Structure 1
Amino acid sequence: MSLPLPATGTKRADRHWWQTACIYQIYPASFKDSNGDGFGDLPGIISKIDHLKSLGVNAVWLSPCYESPNVDGGYDISNYRKIDPRYGTVADIELLIRSLDEVNIRLIMDLVVNHTSDQHEWFRESRSSKTNAKRDWYIWRKGKSITIGNECVRTPPNNWKSQFQGSAWEYDAHTDEYYLHLFAAQQPDLN
């Protein structure tokens, strides 16, 4: 759904805050390294809040900083309740929120809800058996079998392609079914 644009001549005061805001996206790993380990981190972002304010930033859009194996730049979240140790701690994110609030800068957290990491506990449970309570939290399908010559070949449920490359379906031998992943195979889609 797209939001309607304000009518020509609409007064700035009549608009929502985000219609006139300067929103600055920060990818934590490359923004500011505060401890010399080669990765940007939350303390590094906190150290640059005055600079962001001087630029006229009204909101910071923070790319994922949750715990992740980092197959896809942090968009493969393995734990929504923890901050990736490369970036800091939950205490660091709480300090970032307070510090931004003190200078009237909003924080928009990039929350990935289309998929998780295949390392997430939900997926490990879903994958454990066809009768697990979390099985339908992800999209599982039986594959097809086709005969080529004298050989029976297993194929995915359909010809859907991943955004990255190859099939959008990954075979799981443990339960003899395929799970859907519209991005990397390590990013199973939530149902």
Structure 2
Amino acid sequence: MSWWKNATVYQIYPASFKDSNGDGIGDIPGIHAQLDYIESLGVDAIWLCPMYDSPQHDMGYDISNYEAVYPPYGTVKDVEALIEACHERGMRILLDLVINHTSHEHAWFKESRSSKNNHKRDWYIWRPAKYDADGTRQPPNNWRSCFGGSVWEWDEETQEYYLHLFAPQQPDLNWENPATRAAIYESAMEFWLRKGIDGFRVDTVNM
């Protein structure tokens, strides 16, 4: 049987767990400092909520760089040290895998929205406007965002709408594009697997 089916997993929001440097924000070194306590609870694995670099419009679920850590939380080296310390105590470590969307500040989206001819345009989901009988611009359909309002956000620069099932700052990735998939696998998954993490908790898996 797979270990995770019967494991006791301890979820940690970095921002609110333990502040190691007195700046009022929890951080990775703070988690590291409490591993003996977590181990004493009989925990098999810790699940680390998003610690990636992010403008923090949605508690870090709007990721601007999968391969970097949100600076107030620490550094990639801090995460590497945390991984090693977990393994020394016989615990596993899981990261949140947030790959339905990125931040609108991710380099991929900045390229995608820069031009309709950009090679990353199709990495996200873009659609032209519709127009009613009065010539008023309308979104492609009436779908509603999980956070309220339309799932479509107008981009003035390229004169099209992009899809966001969550916040406008969280444009949806186009999983139908093989190049997008390959980039996600490399940047969001393989980068961290090579550093020794034991798996992922898949966010918005039902999307």
TM-score, normalising length from structure 1? 0.90
State yes or no: 1:30 paired with 2:16.
yes
Which residue, out of 68, 76, 91, partners 2:77?
A: 91
Structure 2 segments unaligned to the other structure (5+ residues): 175-207
Corresponding residue for 1:162? 145
* 1:5-39 CA-partner distances (Å, limit 9, x unpaired): xxxxxxxxxx2211111001101000101111111
User: For residues 51 and 102 of structure 2, what CA distance do their matches in structure 1 show?
Assistant: 14
Corresponding residue for 2:110? 124
User: For residues 78 and 30 of structure 1, what CA distance do their matches in structure 2 show?
Assistant: 21
Opposite residue 82 of structure 1, the aligned amino acid is: A
* 1:66-91 CA-partner distances (Å, limit 9, x unpaired): 00000000000001111010100011
* 1:75-134 CA-partner distances (Å, limit 9, x unpaired): 000011110101000110000000000001100010211000000000000000111000
Opposite residue 100 of structure 2, the aligned amino acid is: N
TM-score, normalising length from structure 2? 0.83
Please state whether the residue corresponding to 2:72 is helix, strand or coil: coil
User: For residues 133 and 118 of structure 2, what CA distance do their matches in structure 1 show?
Assistant: 32
Opposite residue 140 of structure 2, the aligned amino acid is: P
* RMSD, aligned CA: 0.6
Alignment of 1:41-190 (within 5 A): 41-148=27-134, 152-190=135-173
User: For residues 173 and 20 of structure 1, what CA distance do their matches in structure 2 show?
Assistant: 50
Corresponding residue for 2:25? 39
User: For residues 171 and 160 of structure 1, what CA distance do their matches in structure 2 show?
Assistant: 14
User: Alpha-carbon deviation of 1:147?
Assistant: 2.5
Compare CA radii of gyration and give the structure with the larger one: 1
Instruction: After the TM superposition, list the runs of 4 or more consecutive aligned residues in structure 1 that deviate by more than 4 angstroms.
Output: none
Deviates more, 1:153-162 or 1:139-148: 139-148
Opposite residue 94 of structure 2, the aligned amino acid is: I
Please state whether the residue corresponding to 1:178 is helix, strand or coil: strand
Q: How many residues align?
A: 174
Opposite residue 167 of structure 1, the aligned amino acid is: S
Where relative contact order (Cα < 8 A, 6+ residues apart) is larger, the structure is 2
Please state whether the residue corresponding to 1:130 is helix, strand or coil: coil
Opposite residue 164 of structure 1, the aligned amino acid is: F
User: For residues 6 and 155 of structure 2, what CA distance do their matches in structure 1 show?
Assistant: 48
Corresponding residue for 2:197? none
* 1:131-181 CA-partner distances (Å, limit 9, x unpaired): 100000000001101134xxx210100001100010000000111100000
